[in-house]
Amino acid sequence: MLTQTDTSVIPFLGADVAATYDAAKVVILPIPYEATTTYRRGCENGPDAILEASQQVEYYDEELDWEIGCDAGIYTYPSIADTRDRQVSPEEMLKATQETVYKLVRDNKFVIALGGEHSITTGVVEAYRQAYPDEPFTVVQIDAHGDLRHEYEGSIHNHACIMRRVVDMGLPTVQIGIRAICKEEAELIKAKNLTVFRAREIANQPDWIEKAIASIPTQKVFLTIDLDGIDPTLIPGVGTPEPGGLNWYALLSFLRQVMEKHQVLGLDIMELAPVADSVVSQFTAAKLAYKLIGYQALFQGWKST
Ligand SMILES: [Mn+2]
């Protein structure tokens, strides 16, 4: 049995509200893995920066009028696939990720994986396929990039290929906030008729949320959030920033409705690469994680009173 003292990581929100593993409905899983970053490095420092920033997040959520952290029970798992001290191969990272997430899901935990680079998501999604072999789910991705390349810089496990791996698994996808793709990706989107809501359309079409929710073909959803999907003026601390991303309230409004209308099985928040002398990116990521815990708690009925 795991207790809070087994982890050397800082517990999400702080020790005062941290639950034991057994009591927790939510498990935060830090995965400080970085191997294929192509532009700004540093995402292996993302999980710790988010956990540290989460100490400053208000327990009371003013939108929900609720101190969710106390009811949901949040346990922070020890880091896995940590590349800060040693090299970890993509195969080793994917194995550790899949095995750990699968165990947590079997223990009935709502898992929030914190990256680390986006290639980790392949292992997370594999764990849900293993846990729900006969129940299809859609991977909803928030991202600036299509991540649909077959391979990049010689690796199929590059962070620029994660959604291609998901498409190859045969899972339905909905991509939100896309604004940087190569020709190969544009052709794949057309050939496979993939569902993509481009950042341009999001900026100009007030009814995009309604359309995006309606386009999700299954009741069950896995949510992968590359923080570069959000506008870089809000989160400059990402590896590959792109102008013109989602704004905070559009993002929250969309995610709240996904969680209300669909069963979100789990989620990940990826690619935070902290900027020196600024805490804005990690605080925003920590706040986003807490908002999502709140929406999940609300729609899954985790209120204790
Ligand atoms: Mn991206």
Each residue's pLDDT tens digit, 135-152: 999 999 999 999 999 999
Averaged pLDDT score across all residues of the chain: 95
State the pLDDT at residue 305: 61
CATH 3.40.800.10 assigned to 4-299: yes
pLDDT for residue 103 is more than 50: yes
Give distance in angstroms: CA of 242 to centre of ligand 1: 9
Give distance in angstroms: CA of 164 to centre of ligand 1: 13
Residue 157 annotated as lining a ligand binding site = no
pLDDT in tens, 8-18: 789 999 998 89
Instruction: Give the residue-averaged pLDDT of 226-236.
Output: 98
pLDDT in tens, 71-101: 899 999 999 999 999 999 999 999 999 999 9
* pTM attached to this predicted model: 0.96
Instruction: Check if the beta carbon of residue 127 is closer than 8 Å to that of residue 105.
Output: yes
State the pLDDT at residue 65: 94
Q: How far apart are CA 113 and CA 76, in angstroms?
A: 10
Tell me what percent of the residues of the chain surpass a pLDDT of 70: 97
Q: How far apart are CA 293 and CA 280, in angstroms?
A: 20
Neighbours of ion ligand 1 (CB under 5 A): 143-145, 226, 228
Residue 228 annotated as lining a ligand binding site = yes
Highest mean pLDDT out of 27-41, 155-169, 253-267: 253-267
